[in-house]
Chain A
Amino acid sequence: MSAPSSPLTRPRGQRIGQLLGTTTFQLASGIIALFVIAAAAIVWMIYAQTNVLLTEQVMTGLRREAEALTALARDGGTRTIDRAIAERSEPRGVQLYFLADGRGVRLAGNLVNVPTEVGADPRGGVFRYVAPPRVDAQQGVDAGTRLAVAIPVPVGPDRRLIVGRDVEDQRAFADKVRRIFLVGFGGLAVAGLVGGFMVSRLVVRRIEDINSAARSIMAGDLARRITTGGNGDEIDGLAQNLNRMLDRIEQLMGGLREVSDNIAHDLKTPLNRLRNRAEAALRENGGAGGYRQGLERVIEEADELIKTFNALLLIARLEAGAVEENMEVFDSGALVRDVAELYEPVTEEAGLSLRIDATGGPQIKANRQLIGQAVANLIDNAIKYGVRNGGVIGVQVVTGPDGLDISVSDQGPGIAPEDRERAVKRFVRLERSRTKPGTGLGLSLVTAVARLHGGTVRLEDNGPGLKVVVSLPKRLYSE
């Protein structure tokens, strides 16, 4: 299994290519493109509108002057027009004039020449003309052609008048605006792309942190964690949660390891005994009778082994919550009494007495076999670890405000307070239980049964002795 190399160690081109392919980058650039296009459309509309307005203004002025000049020609004749044009023509004015006679010979005006198509079209036209050079304080010498609009003005048959406006300044302004737009939006787009790129690099790098941590954990480094930036953003939150999840998994794995160690111990010891017995029978060579005895002892050991194995398997299945199906309604008090009675003769043989107080048990919906087994295990433990001769084993069923408590107490040595928590942990066996007969998994099984029913197991001081309380939740009987 070869882990893919980190993008941070790849060649630059490949890295950028990978970056461009990331969701972050695609989202960022997409949004930027959208904004640039929208802004450009708006600005372009404003620009076009302004242009139209300005042109309109110029044309209105032109038409108005044309009307005035037409009126003047009607009233005053050609002479008045000739004079008016001569007066109005400034060498570098904004208002432009071209006056010629019927044959086309120029008479007056500040325009030297006008393209014939402008004069022929009553709507006028746009053309370039050569203006006399002007010395400007700011722009220096301004020479060359300038843009103009002009319309022909009807002033009688023996005169051709064309009135125009210099629009070079407006054109220059429009040019400038266009240039600014192009540069501005170009810059914006580039800045957006670069920004998107940077943002994605940042995000990708942090996601890559998570990826590389995940890869090394998959490769077996279970202690590895994701580095967090500490700024509390959402990626940090993700990293912290993932780290917490990893902690939990590691903890569970540790638990599993402990469990398998315990299982190995619990099964290997009797397996070893079994082997020893078989070997001993062979070595001693005690004839048919000896072999028979040896085989019987081997079978005994095998039976013990099977019991332990079954107990382990059952605990594992209970822990996995796999036995939900067989819930039935039964009288908890009657069950506890019943199981206790099963053990009564054994208890008496062990020199102990049994005190049963189970009158207060309600009808509960639970797995009868498992609850029965749990009670049996507790009584069995009490017999094994309770003090011999005259001791009392108490079996009680009490309903409290939080639920049902089934307790079994003995007057034996008890369990030290510091060991109590460990003793009810799954698969944990205190050392002394390993030396006693039986699987030693009794309490683990009780805990697993309680958990399956949503309950808990507590170990208390019976003063002297141990009191094991199985608390079952109220919902088992209030439903």
Chain B
Amino acid sequence: MRVLLIEDDRETAHFLQKALKENGHAADLAEDGEAGLAMAESGGYDILIVDRMLPKLDGLAVVKSLRTIGHRTPVLILSALGEVDDRVKGLRAGGDDYLTKPYAYTELLARIEALARRSAPEEQETRYTVGDLVLDRLAHRVTRGGEPITLQPREYRLLEYLMKHAGQVVTRTMLLENVWDYHFDPQTNVIDVHVSRLRGKIDKGFSAPLLHTVRGAGYMIRVGAE
């Protein structure tokens, strides 16, 4: 994945560049809004990570300009401003996701991978399959090894999201935002309990677990152990 990082803080930028490289992504760096906009316009990136406060041209302005000229590359906005209305402003400007500083690198990585996947054309899939686990989006039915599994509506949506991002780390915050549409801190490990219930329904009694916990990051659904 080719990443363009528009970030004026060198230390953060170099940390991210290095970390992304370790995860197999190539990251270019632009240190101000104008340079970032120029580089993004030249194209060829799978995802843009844009800091909200940038010298010369503000991050939101960069995203707005890109969207105005028809660039559809997914954008993750990074910001120290984290309140509900800041988020909404970020998304309204054309950002696809919004992450508040300070953030965990695993969260950032999970989100950009999910974003890059989202822009892929397989969005319209009607069936998700992970091993012998099948989720039929049209019939709203889940089977494992041909056996039907009964899920609560919320459990179904949870599984749907996990399977849509099969093979990718999905963080608790991402689940809370995408499955429940909540953008606040639930204080306790509510998500963990929901996931463990789901796991009880899809993995219990099967020798090969599909729903894995990724330590310090979140969850991942895939075939085979970690």
Nearest opposing residue in chain A for B179, CB measure: A342
Q: How far is the CA of A306 from the CA of B188 in the complex (A)?
A: 15
Q: Interface readout for B56-100 with A: 1 if CB under 8 Å, 0 if not?
A: 000000000000000000000000001111001000000000001
- B190 in the interface, Cβ–Cβ < 8 Å? yes
Q: Interface readout for A360-384 with B: 1 if CB under 8 Å, 0 if not?
A: 0000000101101100110010010
CB distance B193 to A349 under 8 Å? yes
Nearest opposing residue in chain B for A349, CB measure: B193
CB distance B84 to A323 under 8 Å? yes
Given A314-B83, A438-B187, are A342 and B88 neighbors across the interface (CB < 8 Å)?
Answer: no
Given A303-B104, A326-B88, are A380 and B186 neighbors across the interface (CB < 8 Å)?
Answer: yes
Note all chain B residues with C-beta closer than 8 A to A68.
none
Note all chain A residues with C-beta closer than 8 A to B182.
339, 342, 369, 372-373, 376
Note all chain A residues with C-beta closer than 8 A to B100.
310
Nearest opposing residue in chain A for B216, CB measure: A296
CB distance B187 to A377 under 8 Å? yes
Note all chain B residues with C-beta closer than 8 A to A339.
182
Q: Which of A299, A306, A338 has most B Cβ within 10 Å? A: A306
Query: How many inter-chain residue pairs (CB < 8 Å) link A and B?
Result: 70
- A325 in the interface, Cβ–Cβ < 8 Å? yes
Note all chain A residues with C-beta closer than 8 A to B42.
none
- A345 in the interface, Cβ–Cβ < 8 Å? yes
Q: How far is the CA of A50 from the CA of B185 in the complex (A)?
A: 97
Nearest opposing residue in chain B for A317, CB measure: B83
Q: How far is the CA of A380 from the CA of B184 in the complex (A)?
A: 13
CB distance A442 to B83 under 8 Å? no
Note all chain B residues with C-beta closer than 8 A to A338.
180
Closest CB of chain A to B27's CB: distance in Å? Answer: 22
Closest CB of chain B to A370's CB: distance in Å? Answer: 7
Note all chain A residues with C-beta closer than 8 A to B83.
313-314, 317, 322-323
- B18 in the interface, Cβ–Cβ < 8 Å? no
Note all chain B residues with C-beta closer than 8 A to A341.
154
Closest CB of chain A to B210's CB: distance in Å? Answer: 20
**What are 30 pairs between A and B in contact, CB < 8 Å?**
A299-B104, A302-B102, A303-B104, A306-B102, A310-B82, A311-B185, A314-B83, A323-B84, A325-B85, A325-B88, A326-B84, A326-B85, A341-B154, A342-B180, A342-B194, A345-B193, A345-B197, A346-B188, A346-B190, A369-B182, A369-B183, A369-B184, A372-B184, A373-B184, A376-B182, A376-B184, A380-B186, A380-B187, A380-B188, A442-B187
- Additional A-B contact list (15), CB under 8 Å, known A322-B83, A370-B84, A376-B184: A306-B102, A310-B185, A313-B83, A323-B84, A325-B85, A338-B180, A342-B180, A346-B188, A346-B193, A349-B193, A367-B84, A369-B183, A369-B184, A370-B184, A442-B187
The list of the 4 closest CB pairs from A to B, nearest first, reads A373-B184, A345-B193, A380-B187, A325-B85
Report which A residues bind B (CB closer than 8 A): 296, 299, 302-303, 306-307, 310-311, 313-314, 317, 322-323, 325-326, 338-339, 341-343, 345-346, 349, 367, 369-370, 372-373, 376-377, 380, 383, 438-439, 442
Report which B residues bind A (CB closer than 8 A): 82-85, 88, 100, 102, 104, 154, 180, 182-190, 193-194, 197, 216
